[in-house]
Amino acid sequence: MFPEEALPPEGVTAPTFLQVLAENLGHSDGGYTFVQEDGRELFLSWSELSREALRRGRRLLRSGWRKGERLALIVPQEQEFVLTFLGAVSVGVIPVPMYPPLGVGKFEAYCEDAAGILRAAGARALVVPRNLAELLDPLLHAVEGLRVLDPEEFFAEPLVGSAPQPEAILPQDVMFLQFTSGSTAAPKGVRVTHGSVLANCAAIISAIGLDGGRDRGVSWLPMYHDMGLVGFVLAPLIARCPVTFLPTLRFAFSPGLWLETVSRHRATVTFAPNFGLALAVKHTPAQELQRLDLSCVRVVGCGAEPNHPETLRSFAAYFAAAGLRPGTVVPCYGMAEATLAVSFGEIGVPLALDVIEQEPYHSRGLARPAPEAAPAGARVALVPCGRPIAGHRVLIVDEEGNPLPERHIGEVVFQGPSVAAGYHGDAEATRRSFTAHGLHTGDCGYLADGVLYVTSRKKDLLIINGRNHDPQTVEWAAAEVPGLRKGNVVAFTRPGRATEEVVIVAELRAGDAATVARQVRGHIQTRLSLAVAEVLLLVPGELPKTSSGKLKRSRTRRQYLDGHWSALPDEPNTIRTPSLTN
Ligand code: 1ZZ
């Protein structure tokens, strides 16, 4: 689609990731530190990482693997994941990162999802550690012809004799399949190419000024998600920027460990979605702040879901007491179809919200700056997503695909060499999103002075009486009611008599369900002048989420409409669940 795709991006000399590994063979001046489950740390230098990855690649060739075949990975242990992933990449075998089962509940749904991914990818084998393979037995039997590789056994075998020659790898070849946590539809595997990875990594490195000689990263982000994988495994390998990896599960159980690791390792760069910042504040008691020294941090990037102005503000204010400097919280935006990053805010510049008038925003899709004197209820404040990465372009288009002027809300379209090569085995979905004009992101937003604002997923918009409302504005307002679990509130519409009606499904943390539901209704009415038809409260852990922790609004809506959570006749706002009724 883009002629540049075939060329190595500017600033990167390697035409494919194989060259990155080859170049790193000669460097032992830094590397990756993997924090283990028991807290010990394992260090692998650039050269050790490359050597072992290339060895694993040869092992694959020796057992008959060929370029282009897909190798799925359910490998929770970070260093095993990195080495196997890079090993496959080094010989043109296409790794397919998958998420592990996260809890005992919903295991059946997990197996269904995972089987869907394995089939859609046409995986020839699945790499899974032995202890997990036993648990995943039902999944392994659900996919016909799937072979299972225990990494410890398979890659431990010594290599004797010569391996077959690998086929040449080209920039336009698929490097890995990134499955997007589709909210309702069948899972879609994004075909991320060597060229798109190198282009996006070069742009990330330049946008945040990533410098291996000065910077150090800390990441707890899951490696089966694009932000953890491209942002913290692949881009730092190119920049030879040391990274410490904290297991995602350790962060999930003790979010305070994140910034504690940043402080101890004197890290300069770390990223998280909005919910990660909220968790860090909640789980770092004030007396811990003096034990942290965050003065080393240059960038706390925040993206992957809508950024809540108050979460970003309170994170920056709270950790200022631990030395976090102003202007370090940097919003960013991206997606798997763009390889990863689309835009970044400016480092070192305190966040400026765009405060716009509510009425033209809801009724005409216009983002007009609100006068200072406008009452709070007539304004909406949005967090900027920054400017498009270098060498790429963002356009805003209307329903017909025509470009819209600044401050008009439309679909975000992204152009440039980072755009991936479509969806694996899904020509129809590829045609819809990857067009001659660029990548149609499915997100709504606007540009103002060249800065991008993302307002909502197109399909998640609440359209009531012809007015558009972002779901997150309604959800954030609902979450202000004490008793609801912040970040665990979903707003959508259901067909009503005259127009669509708003429904809120949320998880209840504390309090009486009927009272909390009444308060939510009242609060949304006062704050947003919106009538809520129903508030359904669930026990914690019930709301469907993607593997990277995002709300699944469409699935929640479908489950609601299907009567999945049946209401009690005498208490229409609650559901009968053991922990609420006992
Ligand atoms: P995914 C060195 N979305 O979430 C490290 N951002 O991809 C560099 N909505 O395909 C790291 N506001 O799962 C750079 N700000 O979902 C990281 O998520 C740059 O609806 C951010 O279409 C990368 C995020 C990757 C990611 C994509 C969807 C988007 C959009 C939503 C992402 C958002 C945001 C609002 C944001």
More confident position, 408 or 546: 408
pLDDT of residue 96: 98
pLDDT of residue 507: 93
The tens digit of pLDDT for each residue in 1-31 reads 333 333 444 555 578 999 999 999 999 999 9
* pTM of the shown model: 0.93
Question: Going by C-beta distance under 8 Å and a sequence separation of 6 or more, which residues neighbour residue 197?
Answer: 17, 175, 230, 234, 339
Bridge partners (DSSP) of residue 508 are: 484
Ligand 1 centroid distance, CA of 443 (Å): 11
The total of other beta-carbon atoms located within 10 Å of residue 336's CB is 21
Burial 473-496 (b: 16+ CB within 10 A, else e): bbbbbbbebebbbbbbbbbbbeee
Nearest CA to ligand 1 atom 11: 231
Given a cut of 80, is residue 109 above it in pLDDT?
A: yes
Name the average pLDDT for the chain.
92
pLDDT of residue 375: 87
Ligand 1 centroid distance, CA of 1 (Å): 23
Nearest CA to ligand 1 atom 14: 341
- Rounded mean pLDDT, 286-302: 97
Ligand 1 centroid distance, CA of 68 (Å): 27
Tokens of 230: 């491209």
The tens digit of pLDDT for each residue in 220-246 reads 999 999 999 999 999 999 999 999 999
- Report the residue among 335, 353, 451 best suited for mutation to probe ligand 1: largest number of ligand atoms under 8 A from its CB: 335
Query: 184 falls in which pLDDT band (50, 70, 90)?
Result: low
> Which CATH number describes the domain made up of 464-581?
3.30.300.30
d(CA 39, CA 197): 32
Q: Ligand 1 atom closest to Cα of 441?
A: 22
Nearest CA to ligand 1 atom 28: 335
Strands 329-334 and 299-302: parallel
Pocket of ligand 1, beta carbon within 6 A: 180, 204, 226-227, 231-232, 235, 271, 301, 303-307, 331-336, 340-341, 385, 441, 443, 454, 457, 548
Q: Which of 3-17, 310-324, 407-421 is predicted least confidently?
A: 3-17
Phi first, then psi, for residue 196 (nearest 5°) are -70, -35
Phi first, then psi, for residue 201 (nearest 5°) are -65, -40
Given a cut of 70, is residue 382 above it in pLDDT?
A: yes
| 239, 210 Cβ separation under 8 angstroms | yes
Which among 216, 271, 206 is positioned nearest to 240, based on CA atoms? Answer: 216
Q: For the chain, what are the domain ranges? A: 464-581
Ligand 1 centroid distance, CA of 415 (Å): 16
The tens digit of pLDDT for each residue in 457-503 reads 999 999 998 889 999 999 999 999 999 998 999 999 998 888 889 99
The helix/strand/coil state of 113 is helix
- Rounded mean pLDDT, 298-303: 98
| 510, 483 Cβ separation under 8 angstroms | yes
The total of other beta-carbon atoms located within 10 Å of residue 404's CB is 16
Given a cut of 50, is residue 570 above it in pLDDT?
A: no
Tokens of 408: 């008009």
Percentage of the chain beyond pLDDT 70 is 93
Ligand 1 centroid distance, CA of 303 (Å): 5
Nearest CA to ligand 1 atom 32: 304
Phi first, then psi, for residue 301 (nearest 5°) are -75, 145
Residue located via tokens 């990731």: 17
Nearest CA to ligand 1 atom 16: 335
| 355, 379 Cβ separation under 8 angstroms | yes
pLDDT of residue 102: 77
d(CA 520, CA 476): 11
Nearest CA to ligand 1 atom 12: 306
d(CA 273, CA 331): 9
Ligand 1 centroid distance, CA of 302 (Å): 9
Residue 349 CA from chain centroid, whole number = 24
Given a cut of 50, is residue 579 above it in pLDDT?
A: no
More confident position, 3 or 445: 445
ipTM: 0.99
The tens digit of pLDDT for each residue in 73-91 reads 999 999 999 999 999 999 9
Dihedral over Cα of 171, 172, 173, 176: its sign: positive
Given a cut of 80, is residue 577 above it in pLDDT?
A: no
